[in-house]
Amino acid sequence: MACATGSVYVSYAADGVPSYASQRLDPSYRLLIRGENPPQDRGTASRKLARVDQAAGKLQLTPLIDHYARLHQVAPELVAAVVGVESGYNARAVSPKGALGAMQLMPATAARYGVTDAGDAAQNIDAGVRHLRDLLNAHQGNVALALAAYNAGQGAVARHRGRIPPYPETMLY
């Protein structure tokens, strides 16, 4: 997954239900996760090259994102956001945990959706969008919980009784 920056604030309602925000909305919000500062050691040429690579990937993947999002009735903007965060529009991305492709499918998830080559952008995005659709259905359309399940796994959301797991990466996601 691409590195996320920004802080997360939390406020608890009287019944103990947390509300999260990227800024302090009122005095009840407390800093939960301090965001990271972007790395400063990359040179200007490296940053420009990374932006060019991401732009080329976005140009290549956007038609697939739009097609499969519409086919599986998921907002194309949501799918594009997942691809941007997960792989930075790199169809050949591989995470340290073994997630593959533009939508960073774990091998078991890829197999569940019939993917034979997770590096194939069309297969990867089709399966990733179907998985996201299934998560949206499982969480009654709650985008935040579906994304938490996409990032941390369905089991993590279940273990936290249908709430966003308190993992920094998942909360920033």
Residue positions annotated with a catalytic role: 86
CB count in 10 Å sphere of residue 13: 9
> At residue 170, what are phi and psi to the nearest 5 degrees?
-70, -40
Cα 81–Cα 84–Cα 88 angle in degrees, nearest 5: 180
Nearest alpha-carbon partner for 73 in 16, 134, 142 = 134
3-state secondary structure of 113: coil
What is the rounded (10 degree) CA torsion for 6, 133, 77, 52?
70
